[in-house]
Amino acid sequence: MDLFQLGSEDLRSLRVNAPVHRDEATGLWLVSRYHDVRAVLADPRRFHPDNALTAVTAIPRPVLRVLARAGFSLPPTLANNGTDSHAGLRRLVARFLTPARVAALRPRIAELARERLAGLTGPVADLHPALARDLPAIVLMEVLGVEDVDVPLLKRWGAASLELFWGNPSPERQHELATPTAEFHRWLTRRLRAARGDDDLFGALRDVPVREAAGLCYFLFIAGQETTTQLLCAVFDAVLRQGDLWSRLGEPGLAGRVVEEVLRRDPPVSTWRRVAAEPVVLSGVAVPAGAPLLLMLAGTGSDPEVFADPDRLCPVRPNARKHLAFGFGRHFCLGAGLARLEAEVVVREAFERFPDLRLASAEPPPMLGLLSFRAPLAVRVALNG
């Protein structure tokens, strides 16, 4: 079984036939059922996040030396932090992502979307580079108060980091990816050391050791915008494959409900990891202490024990928000509200500008195939129906 290419049928088969299954090739224990995954995420005492950011493919020593020369490290900060320091670090970031601060971004998100939509010319365009790629990075930097960021460079750094840590690159490719990854870390370190005041995230972290602050920003600056780019592409692709659903997006509230259904069915963060801190039993299977768990988030949203007719994209589904696309418990995604708002606003603005939008081809799009991230790499559309 190729864990980098799992499809909906693979996830269904695991959930039904092997809900807790050890993958011999990787040593990961795959956990597929909704209630098991939720229980793991809800129990930080028995299930630790220590492996959440560990490279999926072991990094060879020459590549580690490249990273070490840049002072690169990922100490426990947010996603990989099961220590007592987690709550304080989380609060430092959360102050920039309060519901009121996020809600105030709606006009700015709409403005950015309209600028990009106005530049689309046809008859065919790809919404990934034209609309979804850079917008989330711009929004994230603005909400964090971080200025003077080369957004295209940040996107290249983010893509390289995702592939290095969640992909299956060859040693030669790992060496190529290490250079932009190291550059990103050096840039973060310089910005943190130069920070003054506390109006931006760098300043807010001034009392945190630079090593920890850089590790926190490294993951946050990637996850906080790459996953939203992936979500936007997933939403456009899914909605445009659903008959007349696009033509109905003018209905009040429908865009937000559609986003929630895509998060349930096709979450951009498709898996996440934990370590069993003690022997446990999940779905009747004994899991030993120290076992690395791979939580199949994408499969949980189609669990029929929780969601009726789960394969259907149903915008009026009453319990759609029970999905685990943003995690659960103490590590619930800090940027969930921002991602939801961006997707809702961008999709609604696209509908207003192109009410007759349709996919240029019924063929499946090329997909980002990383262990924990999966989304369309292109959304080619016919702009005028």
For residue 267, give Cα distances in angstroms to 82, 160, 299: 24, 21, 9
Distance CA 77, CA 165 (A): 17
Q: What is the pLDDT of residue 1?
A: 76
2 within some domain = no
Domain with residue 116: its CATH number is: 1.10.630.10
pLDDT in tens, the chain (385 residues): 789 988 899 999 999 999 999 999 999 999 999 999 999 999 999 999 999 999 999 999 999 999 999 999 999 999 999 999 999 999 999 999 999 999 999 999 999 999 999 999 889 999 999 999 999 999 999 999 999 999 999 999 999 999 999 999 999 999 999 999 999 999 999 999 999 888 999 999 999 999 999 999 999 999 999 999 999 999 999 999 998 999 999 999 999 999 999 999 999 999 999 999 999 999 999 999 999 999 999 999 999 999 999 999 999 999 999 999 999 999 999 999 999 999 999 999 999 999 999 999 999 999 999 999 999 999 999 998 6
How many Å is the Cα radius of gyration of the chain? 20
Domain span at residue 377?
8-52+64-382
| Apex 152 CA angle, 376 and 351, nearest 5 | 50
Placement of tokens 């917008």 in the chain: 135
Q: Is residue 316 part of a domain?
A: yes
pLDDT, position 385: 63
Query: What secondary structure letter does DSSP report for 291?
Result: P
Tell me how far apart the alpha carbons of residues 370 and 5 are, in angstroms, rounded to a whole number.
8
Task: Give how many domains the chain has, as a whole number.
Answer: 1
pLDDT at position 198 is 85
170 Cβ contact partners less than 8 Å away, ≥ 6 residues apart: none
SS (H, E, C) 324-369: CCCCCHHHCCCCHHHHHHHHHHHHHHHHHHCCCCEECCCCCCCEEE
H/E run at residue 38 = helix 34-41
Report yes or no on 150 lying in a domain.
Answer: yes
- Positive or negative: CA dihedral 258, 264, 267, 269: positive
Q: Is 3 domain-assigned?
A: no
DSSP letter at 134 equals T
Residues constituting the chain: 385
Q: Could you tell me the pTM of the whole model?
A: 0.97
> Looking at residue 42, what is its pLDDT?
98
Nearest partner of 295 among 319, 271, 275, judged by Cα: 271
Model pLDDT, residue 295: 98
pLDDT at 197: 86
Distance separating alpha carbons of residues 264 and 260, to the nearest angstrom: 6
Residues 6+ apart with CB under 8 A from 66: 175, 178, 179, 182
First to last CA, the chain: 39
Decide if 251 contacts 244 (C-beta within 8 A): no
The reply to whether 162 falls in a domain is yes
Cβ-contact 330, 86 below 8 angstroms: yes
Q: Is residue 248 part of a domain?
A: yes
Query: H-helix or E-strand containing 125?
Result: strand 124-126
